[in-house]
């Protein structure tokens, strides 16, 4: 019988999540009922939003309870099926947490078929998956780009930011990234094709950003918060838009309820820009459409991407901590198993 290892939330972190915040449990998977499938997880996605779910505070989605499986999306292969909807060998994406096998109802809305014509199984957790769709809808529907405008995106080498800037270039905008370190900035400019990229670790962010944006900033795609937002805010033009995807610099704060967020910083401006927090589930009905478009751009070489790959579910907590500190280069993934059908 198949053994499934799950990673549970053992306790709420105070600041950075330590190893004792996670508990590993291994148990036999139950026999399938009608219309259920068994999925072998191949790839696990690690994303900044997971840190917020570990806190006990009001948010756009309910907090994890102690003892629940850590939230997260994965991709894998159907290895057993009692459903007409999925057959053995089908590739799927499932938003069902940190675990090595998943028993799911075939009609569960958290389950989605993966079409490998749009990209690899791992890419469906990155450039053509949730982060790519987040960039796609956040920029187009919240940022409302217009050719000739200037866009600035924080965490520009990351899974979301890298796609935001490349789509902006496809739409005729000037794209300026902010990233940590010369290697990431070089990648953003030379490989992804941004017009410029500022190293926030170099110590003169505000001055360099002003130099890179001589006509001001029309769209700021927010992923980071803190000092990055403070540097951007004075450069925002009248009529600017700020899609707020997240603010990772605050996620390990010990008192998130009193954190200074991008909302506080933007509302201190004489002219408060149009801004709002958004989540990609707002466009759930258009996910397939977005994935097809992103996949086409990747095939055409118009969007490039990079993956940081760790090995084994036992290493997920350390990789998670590293991602929150920006140690990853591109989309952070954990390889759980090979892509063979057992």
Judge if 141 and 240 occupy the same domain.
yes
Tokens describing residue 28? 């036999």
Q: What is the CATH number of the domain that holds 330?
A: 3.90.180.10
Q: pTM of the predicted model, to two decimals?
A: 0.91
Report pLDDT for 53.
87
Judge if 140 and 248 occupy the same domain.
yes
- Digitized pLDDT (tens) for each residue of the chain, 342 residues in all: 799 999 999 999 988 999 999 999 999 999 999 999 999 999 999 998 899 889 887 666 778 999 999 999 999 999 999 999 999 999 999 999 999 999 999 999 999 999 999 999 999 999 999 999 999 999 999 999 999 999 999 999 999 999 999 999 999 999 999 999 999 999 999 999 999 999 999 989 999 999 999 999 999 999 989 899 999 999 999 999 999 998 876 666 556 667 788 999 999 999 999 999 999 999 999 999 999 999 999 999 999 999 999 999 999 999 999 998 888 888 999 999 999 886
Report pLDDT for 49.
87
Judge if 155 and 256 occupy the same domain.
yes
Judge if 167 and 183 occupy the same domain.
yes
Domain count, the chain: 2
Tokens describing residue 329? 């280069």
- The set of long-range contacts for 248-252, using a CB threshold of 8 Å and a minimum separation of 24, is 248/48, 248/51, 248/155, 248/223, 248/224, 248/324, 249/224, 249/225, 250/225, 250/226, 251/48, 251/51, 251/52, 251/324, 252/13, 252/15, 252/16, 252/51, 252/324
Judge if 271 and 318 occupy the same domain.
no
Range(s) of the domain holding residue 242? 130-281
Residue 299 lies in a domain: no
Judge if 114 and 136 occupy the same domain.
no
Q: Is the CB of residue 290 less than 8 Å from the CB of residue 314?
A: no
Cα–Cα distance for residue pair 235/224, rounded to 1 Å: 17
Q: Is the CB of residue 11 less than 8 Å from the CB of residue 66?
A: yes
Residue 59 lies in a domain: yes
């Amino acid at each position: 019988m198949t053994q499934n290892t799950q990673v549970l939330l053992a306790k709420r972190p105070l600041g950075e999540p330590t190893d004792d915040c996670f508990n590993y449990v291994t148990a036999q998977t139950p026999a399938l009922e009608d219309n259920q499938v068994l999925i072998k997880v191949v790839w696990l996605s690690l994303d900044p939003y997971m840190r917020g779910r570990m806190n006990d505070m009001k948010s756009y989605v309910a907090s994890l309870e102690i003892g629940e499986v850590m939230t997260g999306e994965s991709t894998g292969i159907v290895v057993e099926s009692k459903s007409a909807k999925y057959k053995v060998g089908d590739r799927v994406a499932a938003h069902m947490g940190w675990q090595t096998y998943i028993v799911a109802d075939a009609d569960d809305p958290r389950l989605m078929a993966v079409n490998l014509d749009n990209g690899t199984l791992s890419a469906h957790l990155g450039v053509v998956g949730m982060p790519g769709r987040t960039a796609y809808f956040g920029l187009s529907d919240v940022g409302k780009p217009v050719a000739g405008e200037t866009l600035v995106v924080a965490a520009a080498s990351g899974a979301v930011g890298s796609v935001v800037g490349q789509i902006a270039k496809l739409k005729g905008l000037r794209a300026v990234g902010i990233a940590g370190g010369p290697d990431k900035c070089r990648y953003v400019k030379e490989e992804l094709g941004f017009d410029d990229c500022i190293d926030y670790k170099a110590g003169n962010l505000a001055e360099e950003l002003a130099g890179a944006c001589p006509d001001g900033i029309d769209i700021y795609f927010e992923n980071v918060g803190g000092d990055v937002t403070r540097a951007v805010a004075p450069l925002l033009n009248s009529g600017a838009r700020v899609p707020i995807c997240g603010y990772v610099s605050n996620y390990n704060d010990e008192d998130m309820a009193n954190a200074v967020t991008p909302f506080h910083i933007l509302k201190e401006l004489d002219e408060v820009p149009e801004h709002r927090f958004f989540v990609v589930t707002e466009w759930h009905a258009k996910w397939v459409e977005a994935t097809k478009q992103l996949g086409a751009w990747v095939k055409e070489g118009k969007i490039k991407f990079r993956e940081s790959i760790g090995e084994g579910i036992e290493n997920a907590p350390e990789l998670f901590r590293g991602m929150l500190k920006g140690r990853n280069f591109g989309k952070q993934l954990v390889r759980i198993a090979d892509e063979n059908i057992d």
